[in-house]
Amino acid sequence: MRYFFGMVLVAVGILIVIKTEWLIENFGTNAWAETNLGTSGGSRMLYKLIGLALIFIGFMMITGLFGPFLLATVGKLFTSSK
């Protein structure tokens, strides 16, 4: 099942990266992204970064590295030290 969800995330991420202009036309720009990520292309960069993050997470799910990645990065926040 992880292969299926991983491939779906990769496909959605690729679509977001390729169809960024369509997303901006239909959903509009993001004010925070426009001020902090660039002068006229901040929203485009934000959409592309979201797409790349989905691709990265999808490949981690396919290879089985998503769980260990979460444990290594934020796992210490949720474990108790005795």
- Residue range 52-77: mean pLDDT, rounded: 91
pLDDT of residue 72 exceeding 70? yes
pLDDT level of residue 55 (50, 70, 90 thresholds): very high
pLDDT of residue 21: 93
Q: What is the pLDDT of residue 82?
A: 58
Q: Rounded to whole angstroms, how far apart are CA atoms 47 and 6?
A: 19
Q: How far apart are CA 80 and CA 78, in angstroms?
A: 7
The yes-or-no verdict on residue 41 having pLDDT over 90 is: no
Averaged confidence pLDDT in the chain: 90
